[in-house]
Every structure is written in C-alpha cells, then in structure tokens.
Chains A and B, each alone.
Chain A
Amino acid sequence: MSLSSTNRTQPPPPSAARLLRMLRWALPIALFVIAVVIEWGEHVRIEGESVSPSFFVETALFGLIGPTVIFLTLSWVVRLLDAYARTSDELAEVNRDLEAKISQRTQHLEVATAQLASANDDLAGANEELRQLDHLKSEFVSLVSHQLRAPLTNIRGALEIIADAPEGLPPASRRPLEILALETDHLSGLITKILDVSRIEAGRLSLSLGPVAVEPLLVRACGSTFGPARGRAWQVQTAPGLPPAWADEMLLEEVVRNLLENAALYAPSEQPLAVIATLNDGHIRVAVEDHGPGIPSDEHELIFGSFHRIGDSDTTASGYGLGLYLAEKLVSAMDGTIHVESPIWPDQDGPGSRFVFTLPVTPDEPRGLDDESDDT
C-alpha cells in the first residue's frame, strides 16, 4: 500500500525557484536603473537641468520605493515557497514513514494471514482425520458386528437344537441353557441395533415415504413388541379422524418398537403402557407413556445420545443405550422431532416418562383433481 496516489500539490520545480530568487534582485535593480535613466534623461537631457536635489529626491522616490516594494513582495513569495518546499519535504518524509509502516504492517498481516491459513489447514487436516477416525470407528463396529453374526447364528442354532429335545437334558443344565438362549437373543438384538445405527451413520438409510395410517401401525407395533408371552398390558388411543402420517412405514414401526422396548425396560410390568396419537399443530403427535421411575431433567437431552444410559451400569436395566438414539435418528430422517417429558404423574413411586415424537401429516390431495369415493 502507498500514499503516492493521494491528492497533493507538487512544490515548484527547483529551476522556477532559482528564477524567482534571481528576479527578486534583478527586477528591483533593473527598475532602479530604469528609473535613474528616465529621471536623468528627463531632468538633465530634456529639461537641461543640472543634477539638483529635486533630481535626487525624484530618483530616490521612483527608483527606490517601487523596486523596494517589489523586492519585499518577491522576498515574501520566496519565503512562502521555501516554507512550502520545506513542508512538502516534511510531508514526503511523513509519507515515506507511513508507507514504510504500512509496508511493515502489510508484511506482518501477510505473515499472520499465512499463519492463519496454515492453522486452518491444520484444523481442516485434524477435522478430516477425525472424520476418517469416525468413519473407521463406524466401519470397525460394523465389521465386528458382521463378524459376530456368523458365530451368533451358530450359537443360536445349537441352542435351538438342544431346546428341541429338552427331555434328554440333565435337569441341572436346563436353567443355564435357558439363560444362554436369553442372552444370545439379547446379543442378537444388540448386534442388529448396532448394524442399524452404523447403516444410518454411513448415510445408507433409504426412505420409502408415503401415507401411514397411524392406529393400525401402533397396534401392530405393540402386538409385535409385547406378544402374549411378555404379559405386558398396553393400550393405543387415537384421536378420531386422525389423518395419515407422511412417513416410512417400516422405519416408523421400528421407532415405536424402540420406544416401547425402552418403556418396558424401565417401567414396572404390572402397569400398562399407553400409546396416544393426536393431531397437534398440523403434525401427528405420538406419545408413549409409562409409570416408570422417570428421567431427571438434566438427562432429557442426553438420553438420545448413542450408548447413553441413565445412572451407573450396576443399577440400570439391561438396555444398550441404542434404542432411543436409533429412534431419534429415524424420526429426524422422516422430518419429525422427538423429546421426553418427565415426570408426568403426581406419583412419587412412579413419576413416569412420556416420549413424544411428531411427524408430518400426509399432504391433502388437491381438491377437484381427484375423485370422490363412497364407502358404501
């Protein structure tokens, strides 16, 4: 950056200044000489007077006063010019200093910019590294889960073969085998969930959106989660005339199943679970209510994180901390929201929780374009 382009009056060139200094002397002297010659010619030559006191007085009057005034005026101009030149020099000096400073600062700025760019590069590199690590982690988890599937299938199969002929087993080994079968089912469930999560995290989730009749889906999800063997009471309440949601049927059922499984894990089995669907603010709102121990308010956000579980592992139920994470990811993918409210009952022993998710309503078909159908 430079100030050379700013508006400034240039000082007169040195030759003009020299001419002015010369003229300061030459012009009064020339005028004096001319005045003396004219007075001498007038008085002595034309009027034939001798060199008299009046000649001296007039010569002094015309030959000295005018040139003196001119001399003084020119001297003042020369002084002004000198002052101007000095100021210009000083200005130029200041300008040079400024330019030097600007250039210095510019250099500093350039260095700082380069450092910033380098820091940015480092940050981007670190970010990329983190992304790669995260990707690697997902890949690793997915790989391990895939690798676990084969032996797990075999363990389950072997247990099924044993369970098919329980009469041949010594009585003492029946219970351990039951536990083994139960744990194998748990492990299968965990691996299935991990694979679902890694599929979502890898962006491999494909949605098949369409209208979804809410009540039949909720009833189906409850039925498949709590078969007769589970002995868990549940009820589905749906607002009359509830329009269909706009969602992916299979994934929506998975969301509801995850919320139900979560509720069943923490809520006492003698208390029924309620699933309530309403129309709220132009959205379908589904609430899963339980009479469990409730969720502290500082956990309301955290609870949807992966592998997050409330309390320490010794006191919590046997969940894996993936169901709610999965539910949140799936609801978000379907343009919905999910949150938890707790406590919801004025009951010290079972304050309960309400997991609420919303989904868009199926857009209404344009009137007049479609036809009417009678339900007779």
Chain B
Amino acid sequence: MARLLVIDDDRSLVELLSDYLSRAGHEVTGAPDGQRGLAAAAETRPELVILDVTMPGLDGWQTLARLRASDTVPVIMLTARGDEAEILRGFAAGADDYVTKPFSFAQLSARITAVVERTSSGRHPSEILHGADLEVDTIRHRVLRAGQPVELTPTEFAILVTLMRQAGRVLSARQIVTEVWGSEYMEETGYIRRYVWHLRQKLEVDPRQPRYVLNERGIGYLFPAVD
C-alpha cells in the first residue's frame, strides 16, 4: 500500500511494527536512530515516516527539522502522553499526526492510512481554512490570527470550522447545533448564543465589533466570504 520508514531506537518495536505493517500490505524500512533514519529517507523515498521523539543522539525533533528542510513527506510522531506542549511543538515543526505511547498497532495503522490517503489524494496533508488574517488548520486543530495562536475548546473550534466551511452563508443556530452536536440536539439552540459570545471573546480583536463571526439578526451567524 505505501512505503513507510520507521525511525526508533527501540529495535523490538521497529521489528514488530515492520512485521505488523508489512502484513497490512505496507513496505516497511526501519532505522535505529535519527542519523540513519535521514539516510534511509533519502535512499528509499518513503511515503510516510513514523518517528520516535525520544532517541539518543539526533532526537525526533532534530530529525524532523532536518527531514523538513528537504522533504514534505508526511510524518507521524510517537510521543509521550500528556506532553501537550511537545505535541504543539511537533505540529509547529511540521508533524502531520501523533500517537502517544503506549499505543495499539491497529490505532497507528488507522492513522497511517488516513494520513497516506490525505496525501495521495493530492490534497495538502492538512486542510487549512483561511478568512481575513485567520488561518485554521482542521487536522491539527490549530487557529492562528495574524500568525499568533488562539486557544479554542474543541466545540468552539467546531463552530468556527462549521461557519468557515460555508463562509458567506448565514447558518441558523439549528444548523450549527446539528452540524456540531448532531441532529438529536437540533432543538438545543439556546447554547449557541453563549458559545458565540465566548468564541468572540477569544477570537476577535474587538468582540464588540466582530470581524469573523457575524450576526444576521433574526436569521443566524455567518463567517464573511473571502474577497
């Protein structure tokens, strides 16, 4: 299915992953450290790299940075649980996804398939939405306003993405609720006002004069279309 490169100093993991992923139809190469991983990447031209963060010598971040200097190959990082800062750092450095140890091979395999499909379908590994000076990465769940990160909760993020995907169209509260929570909550539109108010507090430069999440009185909300 895909040419994969696994870079991890844990030789048992490399061996087991190679076995598991080969059975799933992938062609797997392993490398025991960052330096040899870079060499293998240059040689085998993988379609996806699985990269461990904690390695002696050249660690996962340094390896990723060197890999990114010359290549756009998608990378899934193997990180430690709970290190959100590390995960954000990984995304900023150009990682495409991550799994935390201990992970299940089936979970990693599903991530590999998703990332490879995104990449091979010709789309950018991430779907990035733009609007004015706002940049929203729907895969990495990252929002940048004028280049600065804005922290949103998952639901606030989902509301923003719903509006941005249909920029220029006014969406009723019912439509937004259905999109974000599901049709069984269609009648629970009372939430939306508060969500939008708090979303504006975090997102807008001046929440009293919103630029991103606008209101059409009596109809609903809209994200203005990009000119």
Inter-chain CA distance A371–B12, complex, in Å, is 59
B193 with A249: CB separation less than 8 A: no
Kindly identify which residue among A150, A210, A362 contacts B10, using a CB–CB cutoff of 8 Å.
A150
A199 located at the interface, meaning its Cβ lies under 8 Å from any Cβ of chain B in the complex: yes
A208 located at the interface, meaning its Cβ lies under 8 Å from any Cβ of chain B in the complex: yes
A373 with B215: CB separation less than 8 A: yes
A244 with B191: CB separation less than 8 A: yes
A369 located at the interface, meaning its Cβ lies under 8 Å from any Cβ of chain B in the complex: yes
B173 with A211: CB separation less than 8 A: no
Kindly identify which residue among B23, B102, B195, B196 contacts A156, using a CB–CB cutoff of 8 Å.
B102
Inter-chain CA distance A304–B156, complex, in Å, is 32
- For residue A219, which residue of chain B has the nearest CB? B184
- Which residues in B have their C-beta under 8 angstroms from that of A160? 20, 104-106
B188 with A370: CB separation less than 8 A: no
A161 with B20: CB separation less than 8 A: yes
Chain A residue total in the interface (Cβ 8 A):
46
Kindly identify which residue among B13, B155, B221 contacts A157, using a CB–CB cutoff of 8 Å.
B13
Kindly identify which residue among B156, B182, B196, B219 contacts A216, using a CB–CB cutoff of 8 Å.
B182
- Which residues in A have their C-beta under 8 angstroms from that of B25? none
A34 located at the interface, meaning its Cβ lies under 8 Å from any Cβ of chain B in the complex: no
- Which residues in A have their C-beta under 8 angstroms from that of B16? 154, 157-158, 161
A154 with B152: CB separation less than 8 A: no
Q: Which of B163-216 contact A (CB under 8 A)?
A: 172-174, 181-182, 185, 188-198, 202, 208, 215
Interface core residue of A146, A164, A209, A375 (most chain B CB under 10 Å): A375
- For residue A192, which residue of chain B has the nearest CB? B81
B80 located at the interface, meaning its Cβ lies under 8 Å from any Cβ of chain A in the complex: yes
A244 with B195: CB separation less than 8 A: yes
B218 located at the interface, meaning its Cβ lies under 8 Å from any Cβ of chain A in the complex: yes
Kindly identify which residue among A188, A243, A248, A374 contacts B173, using a CB–CB cutoff of 8 Å.
A374
Given A160-B106, A373-B220, A146:B197 Cβ within 8 A: no
- For residue A250, which residue of chain B has the nearest CB? B154
- For residue A209, which residue of chain B has the nearest CB? B153
A152 with B219: CB separation less than 8 A: no
Kindly identify which residue among A152, A192, A209, A372 contacts B217, using a CB–CB cutoff of 8 Å.
A372
B19 located at the interface, meaning its Cβ lies under 8 Å from any Cβ of chain A in the complex: yes
A362 with B106: CB separation less than 8 A: no
- Which residues in A have their C-beta under 8 angstroms from that of B102? 149, 152-153, 156, 188, 191-192
Bitwise interface map of A from 186 to 221 toward B, beta carbon under 8 Å scored 1, else 0: 001001100110010000101011111101100000
Inter-chain CA distance A192–B190, complex, in Å, is 37
Bitwise interface map of B from 151 to 162 toward A, beta carbon under 8 Å scored 1, else 0: 111111000000
Interface core residue of A199, A215, A365, A369 (most chain B CB under 10 Å): A365
Given A195-B82, A211-B155, A215-B185, A153:B194 Cβ within 8 A: no
Pull 8 A–B residue pairs with CB atoms less than 8 Å apart, ordered by A: A158-B16, A206-B85, A209-B153, A213-B185, A216-B182, A249-B154, A250-B154, A375-B172
Give the interface of B toward A (CB within 8 A).
10, 12-13, 16-17, 19-20, 23, 80-82, 84-85, 101-106, 151-156, 172-174, 181-182, 185, 188-198, 202, 208, 215, 217-221
